[in-house]
């Protein structure tokens, strides 16, 4: 439980500076002792520029990320939001508990 709360805190810190990760998965958390860091910012993006609304829109660029941990919005090709990072973290935690319970497990990436 403590580990998952620390992962949420790490994401919260990223979101506070107006960025979403967009590829949240276990492999992108570095754990050393009591410290958790997020790594691999290749799909990260600023979610809200100064003075602009945070609007959901389809990216039209095709799915990017890791299918098994993807949020429903990103599976439908919508841009990532903070809630999508948290949803992906939820799937990651589900995977830790029982990898066969993750909803998208076994789907191919088409």
Find the Cα–Cα–Cα–Cα dihedral 9, 14, 18, 19, rounded to 10°: -130
CA distance 104 to 67: 7
Of 23, 34, 40, 108, catalytic: 23
Determine whether 100 is an active site residue.
Answer: no
Which residues form the catalytic set?
Answer: 23
């Amino acid at each position: 439980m403590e580990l998952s709360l620390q992962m949420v805190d790490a994401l919260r810190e990223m979101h506070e500076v107006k960025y979403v990760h967009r590829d949240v998965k276990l492999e992108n958390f570095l754990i050393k002792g009591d410290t958790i860091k997020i790594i691999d910012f290749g799909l990260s993006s600023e979610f809200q520029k100064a003075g602009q609304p945070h609007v959901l829109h389809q990216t039209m660029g095709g799915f990017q990320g890791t299918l098994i941990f993807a949020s429903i919005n990103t599976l439908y090709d919508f841009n990532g939001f903070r809630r999508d990072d948290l949803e992906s973290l939820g799937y990651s935690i589900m995977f830790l508990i029982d990898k066969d319970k993750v909803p998208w497990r076994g789907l191919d990436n088409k």
